């Protein structure tokens, strides 16, 4: 009898240890009894906007403005018929539509007081006020809480600034443009980010709301995956198939398009420079560039896991010094035949039998818990 009781005690102790290991290895949802912090709505939209803005800048500067200046290819409104690049606003519009269609809760779109496309007009008095405020003070987003139907939402408008001469020229010369006096550095409109808070009245009390980090990580990944898919399908593959322009590894010297992996890398470097507390990168078990291999055991295990179970990301929490980080590895799929052909044909590629929709690697997202 004593032996049986001892065995029962050991089993219970082992179960308790296993449970403690489980809850210290994975995120605790905001609103639970856990002590790990979530992310405030403002921090969440700062992270989300940083990714949108970085991808938008890479496309506008490194691709549209650069290739237009070199006389290689232009961006035009009727890009499909003209066999040209999408305008930066059109690129963001298509990416936002793709991300919004995923139904993950977060939505974002471009809006302006002077839209060329009437679909980009402000949709509420709050949006009008927000656009007016960021025009006066572009250093801060304008934020508010709104109730739509029986749900509360946190909304933020960040300034959309003319960072290149091509943006200014396009708007000032367009026959439908309501404003023709833009200059580089002007606020041309805004990027609105809409986050769902919930149905309960307490969600209107902004200071009390916290987002679980895995939710914000999903939002960030949705933007990255959408921009990557739009760039691969509508820019790289479309223009290559029409023998107009190629993507190449030495894209700057070759006067070509960056490879999709380089597009993401350039955006991640821009975000890194801002030191906001968000990091992302492309990694693989079979990287063409050795620097894109897993950096640690977490990333290696994450890549193996998402290749086997690509339905969900591999997540965890780590602490470095006084900072707590949420980390996630998402599967990176071969969304176009161009991705497959490039990797399979590359002389230094460690794997040459990829197929369409295969998991080729992963996108890591790391968030500092503020």
Span 161-181, average pLDDT: 88
Long-range pairs, 78-87, Cβ under 8 A, ≥24? 83/239, 83/242, 83/244, 85/235, 85/239, 86/234, 86/235, 87/170
Given a cut of 90, whether residue 315 has pLDDT beyond it is yes
Q: Which pLDDT value is given to residue 125?
A: 96
Any bridge partners for residue 367, and if so which? 278, 326
Given a cut of 90, whether residue 305 has pLDDT beyond it is yes
Percent of the chain surpassing pLDDT 70: 88
pLDDT 10s digits, 44-60: 999 999 999 999 999 99
pLDDT 10s digits, 129-155: 999 999 999 999 999 999 988 899 999
Compute the distance between CA of residue 138 and CA of residue 116 in angstroms, rounded to an integer: 21
Q: Which pLDDT value is given to residue 264?
A: 94
Q: Which pLDDT value is given to residue 206?
A: 62
Helix or strand or coil: residue 323? Answer: strand
Confidence of residue 115 (pLDDT cuts 50, 70, 90): very high
Compute the distance between CA of residue 179 and CA of residue 175 in angstroms, rounded to an integer: 10
pLDDT 10s digits, 58-95: 999 999 999 999 999 999 999 999 999 999 999 999 99
Helix or strand or coil: residue 253? Answer: helix
- Rounded to two decimals, what is the model's pTM? 0.86
pLDDT 10s digits, 328-353: 999 999 888 888 888 888 888 889 99
Query: Nearest-CA neighbor of 223 among 104, 339, 306, 317?
Result: 104
Please answer whether residues 268 and 365 qualify as being in contact, where contact means their C-beta atoms are separated by less than 8 angstroms: no
Place of tokens 């237009």: 68
What's CA 237's distance to the chain center, in Å?
A: 21
Intra-chain end-to-end CA distance of the chain, in Å: 52
Largest CA distance in the chain: 91
Pairing of strands 142-148, 187-198: unpaired
Q: Give the count of beta carbons closer than 10 Å to the beta carbon of residue 22.
A: 9
pLDDT 10s digits, 223-261: 999 999 999 999 999 999 999 999 999 999 999 999 999
């Amino acid at each position: 009898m004593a032996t049986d009781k001892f065995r029962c005690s050991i089993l219970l102790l082992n179960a308790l240890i296993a449970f403690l290991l489980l809850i210290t290895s994975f995120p605790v949802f905001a609103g639970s009894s856990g002590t790990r912090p979530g992310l405030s709505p403002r921090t969440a939209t700062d992270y989300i906007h940083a990714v949108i803005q970085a991808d938008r800048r890479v496309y506008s500067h490194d691709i549209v403005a650069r290739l237009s200046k070199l006389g290689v290819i232009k961006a035009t409104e009727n890009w499909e018929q003209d066999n040209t690049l999408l305008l930066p606003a059109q690129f963001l519009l298509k990416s936002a539509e793709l991300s919004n269609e995923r139904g993950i809760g977060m939505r974002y779109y471009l809006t302006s007081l002077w839209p060329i496309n009437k679909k980009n007009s402000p949709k509420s008095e709050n949006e009008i006020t927000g656009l007016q405020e960021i025009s006066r003070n572009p250093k801060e987003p304008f934020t508010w809480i709104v109730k739509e139907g029986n749900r509360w939402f946190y909304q933020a408008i960040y300034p959309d600034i003319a960072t290149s001469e091509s943006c200014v020229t396009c708007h000032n010369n367009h026959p439908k443009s309501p404003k023709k006096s833009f200059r580089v550095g002007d606020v041309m409109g805004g990027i609105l980010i809409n986050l769902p808070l919930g149905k309960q009245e307490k969600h209107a009390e902004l200071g009390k709301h916290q987002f679980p980090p895995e939710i914000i990580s999903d939002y960030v990944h949705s933007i990255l995956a959408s921009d990557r898919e739009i760039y691969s399908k509508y820019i790289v593959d479309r223009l290559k198939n029409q023998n107009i322009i190629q993507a190449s590894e030495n894209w700057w010297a070759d006067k070509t398009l960056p490879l999709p992996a380089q597009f993401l890398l350039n955006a991640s470097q821009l975000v890194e420079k801002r030191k906001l507390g968000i990091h992302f990168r492309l990694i693989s078990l079979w990287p063409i560039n050795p620097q894109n291999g897993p950096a640690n055991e977490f990333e290696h295990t994450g890549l193996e896991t998402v290749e086997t179970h690509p339905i969900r990301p591999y997540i965890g929490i780590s602490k470095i010094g006084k900072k707590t980080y949420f980390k996630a590895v998402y599967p990176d799929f071969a969304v176009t035949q161009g991705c497959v052909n490039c990797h399979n044909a590359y002389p230094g590629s460690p794997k040459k039998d990829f197929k369409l929709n295969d998991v080729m690697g992963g996108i890591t997202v790391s968030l500092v818990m503020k």
